[in-house]
Amino acid sequence: MARRRPCLESRILAAFQQALAEGCLDVAEHLLCALEALDPGGTPGPALSEAFLSLAESGPRH
């Protein structure tokens, strides 16, 4: 089962980034929660870190 995790994280990250790009912030929030659930440790893993970076780069929405 552990072999599928990186693939799942990658797919969720891609969907998260697409949701941000399309302005679907409610969907992006749910996908971010899914990434957090897959990475319960104290330090964010690569997929979660990239999601946070994408969120920061998306800038404020007014």
CA distance 29 to 25: 6
Does 48 map to a domain? yes
What pLDDT, on the 0 to 100 scale, is given for residue 2? 54
What pLDDT, on the 0 to 100 scale, is given for residue 49? 94
End-to-end CA distance of the chain: 41
Tell me the whole-structure pTM to 2 decimals. 0.80
Residue type, 56: A
Does 62 map to a domain? no
Q: Provide the domain limits for residue 34.
A: 2-57
Task: Count Cβ atoms below 10 Å from residue 50 Cβ, excluding itself.
Answer: 17
pLDDT along the chain (62 residues), means of 10: 69 97 97 93 88 89 54
Are 22 and 56 in contact, with CB atoms under 8 Å apart?
no
What pLDDT, on the 0 to 100 scale, is given for residue 46? 92
User: Based on the structure, what is the number of domains in the chain?
Assistant: 1
